[in-house]
Chain A
Amino acid sequence: MALIKVEQLTKTYHSTAVPVHALQNVNLTFERGEFSAVVGPSGSGKTTFLNMLGGLDKPTSGQIFIDGRNLAELKGSALTEYRLHHIGFVFQAYNLIPVFSALENVEFIMLLQGVGKKERRKRAQALLEAVGLGDRLHSRPTQLSGGQQQRVAVARALASRPEFVLADEPTANLDSHSAAELLSLMENLNKQFNMTFIFSTHDVRVIQRARRVITLHDGKVEKDEIIK
């Protein structure tokens, strides 16, 4: 069974006089262990698509199944709870809680899950070491570079032991060296743990590393290529 199945997904915004068709009848599936990029120009619907997959927005029509479960059946706190346990997020910016250290940021998501203090500390430390920040556990985000902050974000996304990780333009604010480091890290985690990564990006560096590239244009799937 596919990890994620998207059927006839449509999203139309009516906030302006002219309706905006952000997504139009999108049909896609994603398997476990994918390292896929959703690409397209601005306004193509990449972020909207990721928001739908993450349960952050509701489709106008269509369905999304995650591991056989229809996301539409979940509402309110049940949906929030589902995101907490099944979906990891890495955002373009403002990923971390600025008043917490790197360790506390990673621990926080486990706190929300109800993991005990000792266990979450142990796991947070291990994850930060895995992303190469074992020596920056107690640094606050302002004391970390952009790339380091994103690595903490990746560690936090993995801390919740999600089914998959959604990364929306994760390298947009990074220099090329940091971006390359981050991508290598995510690639290694993908290979090591068979963790599914789905990116929304127009960063060529990300596209070059992805094993599958889905191109959106005006809310429709224009191309769906397996690269590697």
Chain B
Amino acid sequence: MLVSLAWKNIWRNKSRSLVVVLAIAFGLWGGLFSDGLMIGMGESMVNTAIDRDLAHIQIHRPDYDETKGIHRYIPNGLSLADSVRRMPHVIGVSARTRFTGIASSATSSYPVQITGIIPEQEKKVTRLYKRIVSGTYFASKHKNAIVIGQKLAKRLRLRLHSKIVLGFEGAHGELINIACRVIGIYHSGSSRFDESNVFLKQNYLSGVLGGRTFIHEIAIRCQKSAFVKPITAKLKARYPKLLVQSWQERDPMVAFTSSLMIEYSYFFLVFILLAVLFGITNTMLMSVVDRIRELGMLMAIGMKQSRIFVMILLESMFLSLSGGFAGIVLGVLTIALTKHHGIDLSVFRASLESFGASAIIYPTLPLEMYISLTVFIVLTANIAGILPALKAIHLQPAEAIRSV
């Protein structure tokens, strides 16, 4: 009956309670959706990076990153790649030839990372082949076919079928220049990546390098992100002399930004709940003041202070949970509706791409966040109810009954 009384009490003043409930609901709805967008943006950054070039796991020679020179190759790279390909839950392996060089056109030049790939293998690991905006992804007879980024094309004033010259250091320290034909231009979503990465057929690059295939990087795609950690651990144990890195280790900035989004989203919700706390405290204080005579009567007939305290806390809880539940439902629905088609933020494309995020964001919230939020709401309600409950139990029955 005490629970029933508390529930009925909050609806005594329907308009006041409704205003508070709606305020909580809309506040949480806004907070959840913003968090969903933020976390979606973080996930977009991660997925974009993985799909673009990072893959789930990469293997290098430990000293590769020092110079990214042609000599820093993985011994027996091709057979190593084959071996990894046979591991369970691995769906794609791309053994890449990768080193630094200069790309030049008639008008300009720019430092680039030159990557030699087997397109069929690469397609199983990354999704760059889906980001071709002009031309094709190596569906060309040209042996010296090259796929370049849109930003680089702009910088060097190149178009489809244009000639581009790549300069780099060869296996014996000699300077090599090769002319390539632009057969595809991609737009990855990261302007920085687009202007500094070019792709050629690995067998062509091997031919230029004296017939040897140098493997500098083995990129691995797992069946699901849940397999990344265990497979990384297995590979580290299997190849202790090589540098095996998960995508988080390979690009800590992406990992950090993604986890920062999640941390930030919790902070954002905490701030919203702080506002909720003050709103509920205020409403409950008003409610107690409105009922001073009735509370005096209840104490007079024999309702103990502890019960009155619990009743006020229950009222505070019901108020918070009503608004909280409505807010969570609205948040879930909004995120569910926008999750599949995404939210088109093309108007901020340039800014988003500079962060490495896609212009279309797919809001998402982990289940733990909803559970945490419910716990926070209950906590907030209890804290908010303390002051009004204390006010109620310190009433003197004789005075309260007589108050105006």
A residues in contact (CB < 8 Å) with B: 47, 51, 54, 56-57, 76-77, 80-81, 83-85, 89, 91, 93-95, 97-100, 104, 107-109, 111-113, 156-157, 160
Contact = CB atoms under 8 A, between A and B. Distances in A.
21 contacts: A56-B398, A56-B401, A57-B396, A76-B305, A81-B302, A81-B304, A84-B301, A84-B302, A89-B297, A91-B297, A93-B293, A94-B297, A94-B401, A97-B294, A98-B294, A99-B5, A99-B11, A100-B8, A104-B1, A112-B304, A160-B301
7 closest A-B pairs by CB: A84-B302, A99-B8, A56-B398, A94-B293, A57-B398, A51-B398, A56-B397
Interface of B: 1-2, 5, 8-9, 11-12, 293-294, 297-307, 396-398, 401-402
Nearest to B10: A99
Contacts of B396: 57
Contacts of A89: 297, 300-301
Given A57-B398, A91-B401, A94-B401, A85 B5 contact: no
A171 B327 CA distance: 49
Given A83-B301, A94-B293, 5 more contacts: A51-B398, A77-B305, A89-B297, A91-B300, A97-B5
A85 B301 CA distance: 9
Contacts of A107: 1
A94 B294 CA distance: 6
Contacts of A104: 1
B305 A80 contact: yes
Nearest to A48: B398
Nearest to A110: B1
A112 B5 CA distance: 13
Interface of A is mostly: helix
Interface of B is mostly: helix
Nearest to B6: A99
Given A57-B398, A94-B293, A98-B12, A111 B299 contact: no
A176 B19 CA distance: 42
A77 B306 CA distance: 9
Contacts of A108: 1, 5
A87 to B, nearest CB: 8
A156 B301 contact: yes
Given A91-B401, A99-B5, A100-B8, A112 B302 contact: yes
A112 B300 CA distance: 12
Contacts of A109: 301-302
Contacts of A84: 301-303
A100 B294 CA distance: 13
A99 B12 contact: yes
B304 A77 contact: yes
A63 B303 CA distance: 24
Interface centre among B305, B396, B398 (most CB of A within 10 A): B398
Given A57-B398, A94-B297, A112-B307, A100 B5 contact: yes
B357 to A, nearest CB: 52
Given A56-B398, A99-B5, A85 B297 contact: no
Contact of A95 (B8, B297, B304): B297
A98 B396 CA distance: 21
Contact of B299 (A80, A93, A99, A100): A80
B311 to A, nearest CB: 11
Contacts of B5: 97, 99-100, 108
Contacts of B293: 93-94
Contacts of A95: 297
Given A94-B293, A98-B12, A104-B1, A80 B398 contact: no
Contacts of B300: 54, 56, 83, 89, 91
Contacts of A98: 12, 294
A160 B398 CA distance: 20
B291 to A, nearest CB: 9
Contacts of A113: 302
Contacts of B294: 94, 97-98
B9 A80 contact: no
A16 to B, nearest CB: 14
A95 to B, nearest CB: 7
Contacts of A112: 301-304, 307
B290 to A, nearest CB: 11
Contacts of B298: 97
B375 to A, nearest CB: 29
Contacts of A91: 297, 300, 401
Contacts of B299: 80
A80 B300 CA distance: 7
Nearest to A159: B301
A109 B2 CA distance: 11
A122 B294 CA distance: 26
Interface centre among B1, B293, B298, B299 (most CB of A within 10 A): B1
